[in-house]
Amino acid sequence: MNFIVRESTPKDMPQVLGLIKELATFEKEPDAVEVTEELLKEAGFNSDPMFTCFVAEVDSEIVGMALVYFRFSTWKGRSLHLEDLIVKDKMRGSGIGKELYTKVIQYAYNKKVKRIEWAVLNWNNRAIKFYERSGATVLKDWYIAQMDEAGIKIYLENLE
């Protein structure tokens, strides 16, 4: 199968959003996606883009994507966060995920970051094994903490 991996463009965002929704379903959160095509275009393709997105394309269809952004580690310095790496279910096992992953690692290397970080669900054994085989360390002693919009509001209201 022939495919290409390239940096995304604004016109790719409808298909990228479709992949994001497919990932949400895979992760058992089908109704959690709030982002829109417009927000993806606005946030990723302005004078100060919030992210870079790479896409895998087969016959003009986007079948995979990896979205990254820069962070700063107080211990290491500049780092890259891999927010999501998604391959359409029908294309898994084809090597597309590995090519997207390699593209992210090459991008990080070229940008001279000190570390790449990402999260993986503890039940996604296939992904965990892939990452470990690649040389990544999957930390099992850290929890990810998040606070959503409602939690932010409640916290601030309780300060008053």
Task: Give the residue numbers annotated as catalytic, written as ranges.
Answer: 131
**Alpha-carbon dihedral sign for residues 78, 36, 54, 144:** positive
Residue 70 in tokens: 């820069």
Cβ atoms of residues 86 and 20 within 8 Å: yes
- The string of DSSP codes covering 100-144 is HHHHHHHHHHHTT-SEEE----TT-HHHHHHHHHTT----SS---
For residue 93, the surrounding DSSP H or E stretch is none
